[in-house]
Structure 1
Amino acid sequence: MKKFGKNIKLFLIDGDVNGRWICELSNWTGKAYKIPRNLVKECADREELQKSGVYFLFGMQEDGKPLIYIGESEVIYTRLLQHLTTKDYWNECIVFISKDEYLNKAHIKYLEHRFYSSAKEANRYVIKNDTVPTKSNVSEGEEAELEEFIYNAKILIGTLGHKAFEPVARTIDTKETLFYFERKKGERGKGVGIPTSEGFVLFKGAFVAPDLLGSANQWVEDLRNKHKDKIKNNITTEDILFSSPSAASAFLCGGSSNGLVEWKTADGIELKQMQG
């Protein structure tokens, strides 16, 4: 399937990268506002934010895990004001409205549910919603338009710095090269992964060496502790994103590792040779 480029228009409302942004995609009726928490009240005069739409509150836990709350409202600005006094964990919001006032209550409830489901499936952010949003019934034609809205909104959310709806491991092309790690016939780790634009993804089902090597640095132990909830009986239970191939292989073997050398194709070609 041929991929087409996208033209994105950004406008800094306050003339400051740390201020409010408006983000638009060419040939699309949707529109995004990126608003820091401390500037929400500055949006009182933005008539577009008096419309219905969906919004996302972003924050960070003390342990560094990103947070997201997904909501909808028939009057976005009023709802954001409420969240200023009821939710203290967020520091930025992204709002989506329709420039042609297309979105009604059923539409935004549908969008809220679909975005929640996508965030749950991607499993990148801690979701702060207390309950699963109800999915409203829409016609077949409306569903097609709303799914297109979701597709475009995800592009803009990613552009604005949040990959909450993108799975760690994308769908792999059958022609794409996979890389394999195995040390000491698998006794000290064994797994399959692939380099991505964010680092290196280790696929679920990998075997993690049960103990750390005596030469292991503190950061290797920290890696193990960070992802311990994704390991059961020394087997990884989900895809894990690492900052580098070496971090992924060190995680598996429990000690220092040069991932560029130890990750190899099925034919035994080292990663550094493939990338070189």
Structure 2
Amino acid sequence: MDGTASGRWQASISQWNGLVYKIPRARLKETEDIPELNTPGVYFLFGNECGQEFVYVGEADNVQKRILQPHLFEKNGSQWDDAVIYVTPDGSLEKGRVKYLEHYFYKQACDCARYIVKNGNTPTESQVRREVRDSLMIAVENIKLIMPTLGYKVFAPSKSADPSPKIMLHLAGKKAKAEGYLNADGSIIVRKGSTFCLTETNSCKKYLKERRAELIKQKQVVNGEFVEDVRFTSLSTAAGCILGASVNGKDLWLYPDGKSFKKKNSQ
């Protein structure tokens, strides 16, 4: 829209009445030339915190006005970078429909587990007629198709949902033990049931402390144990969060034969 890839984007699909916009935070106040953004819609706020991507899913009667207002997760210092917004020029997205979509996309983002979901509570699922639900599923599929082209794979199932056999890695420290497996992109999924050291060493870097605090706040770690599978962007970030120390994860994550990731992949 602005002649540059880092500016505003508009995406649409032939014979579909929906419009999807990607608006950088810095350009949000410049969107007065887009009247559709002053209508009901569903929005996604994307950002990166401590090396981990996050998303917030919301809805509003006036999307532009709502996004300009502070969100609860921002009170802790988090800041989103881009807003992705779904609206319809004909105004067909009344309250029940946007509430239904908000709940649906929230659940999808949680199930895919690629991003931290910043919503403090589960959005309420509104009841809609079957024919309305069927029409909304068309919008869902189109948004899922558009979202990766805008740079976000939030609705692409993570490797944790892959039923094929996996080679597990394990990590053992003095106060924590964990299992996980690698994704093709170099990230690692730490398995539910892995333990977590509640104390931190003096070497623990700020970004690790913040990530650890977020795991506890989001109740992904409860009483020193992972209660769900959690994705980390690197072996070192995962190991550092688990042990509460700045460490080289390639030395500490081991294959079933006892060889470290570093040693096995340097052969």
TM category (shorter chain) comes to 0.5 to 0.7
Other structure's SS at 1:205 match: coil
Residue 180 of structure 1 pairs with residue 162 of structure 2: no
- If the length of structure 2 is used for normalisation, what is the TM-score? 0.68
* Among 229, 232, 236, the residue aligned to 2:226: 236
Residue 32 of structure 1 pairs with residue 24 of structure 2: no
Residue 127 of structure 1 pairs with residue 119 of structure 2: yes
Q: Distance in 2 between matches of 1:258 and 1:206?
A: 16
**5+ residue gaps, structure 1:** 1-12
Q: Distance in 2 between matches of 1:275 and 1:249?
A: 20
* Among 250, 253, 262, the residue aligned to 2:253: 262
Other structure's SS at 2:236 match: helix
Show the counterpart of 2:70: 87
Cα distance change on mapping 1:155 and 1:202 into 2, 3 Å: farther
Show the counterpart of 2:77: none
Q: Distance in 1 between matches of 2:187 and 2:46?
A: 23
Residue 112 of structure 1 pairs with residue 136 of structure 2: no
Deviation at 1:204, TM superposition (A): 1.8
How many pairs are equivalent?
Answer: 249
Q: Retained in 1: the 8 A contact 2:97–2:126? A: no
Between structure 1 and structure 2, the one with the greater Rg is: 1
Deviation at 1:205, TM superposition (A): 0.8
Show the counterpart of 2:180: 193
Other structure's SS at 1:127 match: coil
Show the counterpart of 1:5: none
Show the counterpart of 1:223: 208
Deviations 1:133-178 (A, max 9, x none): 4413121x44234234224324433443445556766302233x23
Deviation at 1:124, TM superposition (A): 0.8
The structure showing larger relative contact order (alpha-carbon pairs under 8 Å, at least 6 residues apart) is 2
Deviation at 1:46, TM superposition (A): 3.5
Q: Distance in 2 between matches of 1:227 and 1:52?
A: 36
Q: Retained in 1: the 8 A contact 2:38–2:64? A: no
Q: Retained in 1: the 8 A contact 2:50–2:210? A: no
Other structure's SS at 2:42 match: strand
**5+ residue gaps, structure 2:** 75-79
Q: Distance in 2 between matches of 1:16 and 1:53?
A: 25
Q: Distance in 1 between matches of 2:49 and 2:210?
A: 16
Aligned-residue RMSD, C-alpha: 4.2
Show the counterpart of 1:3: none
Other structure's SS at 2:161 match: coil
Q: Distance in 1 between matches of 2:42 and 2:266?
A: 41
Q: Distance in 2 between matches of 1:180 and 1:49?
A: 47
Deviation at 1:126, TM superposition (A): 1.6
Q: Retained in 2: the 8 A contact 1:212–1:254? A: yes
Cα distance change on mapping 1:222 and 1:145 into 2, 3 Å: same
Cα distance change on mapping 1:46 and 1:134 into 2, 3 Å: same
- If the length of structure 1 is used for normalisation, what is the TM-score? 0.66
